[in-house]
Structure 1
């Protein structure tokens, strides 16, 4: 049971980390498609820099050993950021395909948080 939980944790955490790093980098370099999408959603382009930096810092926080309180804050930040993205897509009546990425990252965040080992809990 413990081994299964550890495997689930690491699979979810690695995929979550890859998703957050890749989207964070895309936001930091402000790809044209990202800037256009943020404008469509009603957010200023500089918001991409803020989100990108926090995503990368959040990934570092959940991957490094120790610092369980920082991990809790990182998971909470991911949850609020991603749920906010989902509600933004709902608010602008975005196409259903645009919900897939945020929903997947939200599920991975919850799974990673739920199955994290005892030494990573606060």
Structure 2
């Protein structure tokens, strides 16, 4: 296994674990997440769809090599992570560190995924 593939799989796996932990919190700790969403000013009916979307995103990142769907997942996760960062930053709860880590892992996964699967058919 070459270095590009190792970096891709480590960053993608860590990103996947982070997203699945977040989705798990959305499902199993609903009341705390509901309060957080209210403090952000977000509608609480987004909690379960976001948990499903994060879980689906992890599946696509792990299963797909290079495809249009995977590109969409990367872009959706980019916007989700940016919005999470600014939501935590704006209310000043100091919880934006996870978003910074997630963004670094997302960028590493994207760049090294392109290098690893550059010869794959879309």
TM range (shorter): 0.7 to 0.9
* 2:64/2:70 contact within 8 Å kept: no
Match of 2:15 in 1: 16
Q: Is the 8 A contact 1:71 1:120 kept in 2?
A: no
Structure 1: gaps spanning 5 or more residues: none
Q: Under a length normalisation based on structure 2, what TM-score does the superposition of the two structures give? A: 0.87
What's the CA shift for 1:95? 2.7
Distance of 1:99 and 1:51 partners within structure 2: 18
Structure 1 residue 84: deviation in Å? 0.7
Following superposition, the deviation at residue 43 of structure 1 comes to: 1.1
**Are positions 1:104 and 2:73 aligned together?**
no
Contact 1:9 1:111 in 2 (8 A): yes
Distance, in Å, in 2 between the alignment partners of 1:101 and 1:48 is 18
**Runs (4+) off by over 6 Å:** none
Contact in 2 for aligned 1:28/1:53 (Cα 8 Å): no
Aligned residues of 1:24 and 1:51 also touching (Cα < 8 A): yes
Q: TM-score, normalised by structure 1?
A: 0.87
SS in 2 for 1:95: coil
CA RMSD in angstroms, aligned pairs only = 1.9
- Could you list the runs of 5+ residues in structure 2 that have no partner in the other structure? none
How far the C-alpha of 1:69 sits from its partner, in A, is 1.0
Q: What corresponds to 2:110 in structure 1?
A: 113
Which of the numbers 93, 106, 120 marks the counterpart of 1:95?
93
